[in-house]
Structure 1
Amino acid sequence: MAHGGGVSGSANAASGMAVHDDCKLKFLELKAKRTYRFIIYKIEEKQKQVVVEKLGEPTESYEDFAAGLPADECRYAVYDFDFMTKENCQKSRIFFIAWSPDTARVRSKMICASSKDRFKRELDGF
């Protein structure tokens, strides 16, 4: 009985994670207008919601993005990657990153993993 309760409890934790409207709005701006190079999202465990933590200016680099990821906490992120094709055509692709370092707390890693797919669905367009 207790085992069954544990399973539904973890499912509730995942489905109970709200996504702040700002997360979607900023993502749409990045996608449509290229307003940002990247967006880093933080999971607020106490409020049970995902919020925008950091916005990267279009001029910022991948190094700036990587520097914004904490060494011991989980984050979700979106990165707008520019590249040249073999035909010298400028392209851009948006990547979704789930940052879950080994040093993060076990509970954080579990929440990060269980909420990831739902969060990706909320941000339409990968």
Structure 2
Amino acid sequence: MAMAYKMATEGMNIKEECKRWFTEMKWKKVHRFVVYKIDERTRAVLVDKVGGPGEGYDELVAALPGDDCRYAVFDFDFVSVDNCQKSKIFFILRSPAASRIRAKILYATSKQGLRRVLEGVHYEVQATERSEMGFDVIRERAQ
């Protein structure tokens, strides 16, 4: 546990690809979501999976492991109450109850470093259960 805390407080190396994939998702709309993971050996945040433009929220949820932590950003398109097409970007920290304590600590303490790099996130969701990041939760937060 002490090593996990030490690694987190020293800061994670956030690879350039993390920002690049996010920027492409945000501005070019060529990706619907990006999933990030921490490589404990190299102390770096890496891109784990990228969702294509035709993929939706269900594919994002399926891309997140049930027994390990991950970060994800999701570009949520919706029609507002006044019939305007809008887009909001969500940052999701998925920390399942079945994941290791060390991983939970690393992801929780390293979150702000990644958030600083990903400029333009509108909302943040932290979820231990899949129900805490359900589509209805995302839709409600966006509107």
In the superposition, the TM-score normalised over structure 2's length comes to 0.79
Secondary structure in 1 aligned to 2:74?
Answer: strand
Counterpart residue number, 1:83: 78
The count of corresponding residues between Structure 1 and Structure 2 is 121
Q: Deviations over 1:48-73 (max 9, x none)?
A: 00000100011101111100000000
Counterpart residue number, 1:94: 89
Q: Deviations over 1:53-98 (max 9, x none)?
A: 1000111011111000000000000000011111111100000001
Residue 113 (structure 1) aligned with residue 108 (structure 2): yes
Q: Give every structure 1 segment of 4 or more consecutive aligned residues whose post-TM-superposition deviation is greater than 6 Å.
A: none
Counterpart residue number, 1:3: none
RMSD: 1.8
Residue 73 (structure 1) aligned with residue 68 (structure 2): yes
> Partners of 1:112 and 1:12 in 2: how far apart?
11
> Partners of 2:86 and 2:8 in 1: how far apart?
38
> Partners of 2:70 and 2:7 in 1: how far apart?
20
Q: Which amino acid aligns with 1:86?
A: V
Counterpart residue number, 1:58: 53
> Partners of 2:30 and 2:10 in 1: how far apart?
30
In the superposition, the TM-score normalised over structure 1's length comes to 0.89
Judge conservation of contact 1:74–1:104 (CA < 8 Å) in 2: yes
